[in-house]
Amino acid sequence: MSKKIRIVFTCSVLVISMLFTSQKGYSQESTPPKKERKNTVKLNITNPMIFGTNCYIVGYERTIGQHQSFSVNVGRFAMPQLFNIGLDSIKQINSNSRTSRGLSLSGDYRFYLAKENKYDSPHGLYIGPYFATNSFSRTFEMEATAGEFVGKLNADLKLSILTVGFQLGYQFVFWDRLSLDMLLFGPGFSAYNAKVGLSTTLDATSESELFKKINDGLAEKIPGYSLVIKPGDFEKTGTFNTTSLGYRYIIMLGFRF
């Protein structure tokens, strides 16, 4: 789990503790019957914090009966900028031109545990299967300075990941309209396809150092990432398991109607 994800996770645990306390006090107050609201539109607030402001995802959840629902999420998913992956041994990197684009699509079916929850869906603890697909690409031309040597880096990176798995989460509902959906754990099985085209004018030592930093940075940004990119053109497919606690850790803010 990367440092940024750990910070977000720790803060969220504190928030959950406070929310449970406030919910307990709120539930003890007498409240009038509420109108049934089956629809919730949501905004993912975790992705911009972890992957940058170019990543934004919206979602929709529809309740089915008292203890089930399904949700769909779609949005833009951009590959992390190289400026943010810790190229500390390369003194300076200036981007001359770059394009970044990507798509994120996911869905899940939720079972709100009747024995654990005193509320109807979508309020309370839930489990269920999910799928997620992310495809993104990044093309850029950069100028790298390593010591006294200045070289060019040209890259065209494309990566697609399809994941299926099982998730655990908790959703709060406040004032009948506002929801806070916290997906806490989502191990899964992923298949990926990567196409990489890279070339540099750096010397062998500087080039090796640069690509090591790029791989380390991508591994920190993308949970479960194990691909090693290197100069040249190649395509690779494979699979990996995503069982770390931080994987698929998502917070979404919603409005019910």
CB neighbour list of residue 150: distance below 8 Å, 6 or more residues apart: 143, 144
Q: Tell which phi-psi region holds residue 118, choosing left (phi > 0), alpha (psi between -120 and 50) or beta.
A: alpha
pLDDT by residue (tens digit) across 29-74?
445 556 789 999 999 998 888 777 778 899 999 999 889 999 999 9
- The CATH number linked to 87 is 2.40.160
Give the pLDDT confidence of 225-251 residue by residue, as tens digits.
666 666 665 566 766 666 654 467 889
Predicted TM-score (pTM) of this structure: 0.72
Give pLDDT, residue 117. 85
| Domains identified in the chain, total number | 1
Domain hosting residue 163, numbered range: 3-28+35-256
Using the Cα atoms of residue 110, residue 115, residue 119 and residue 125 in order, give the sign of their dihedral. negative
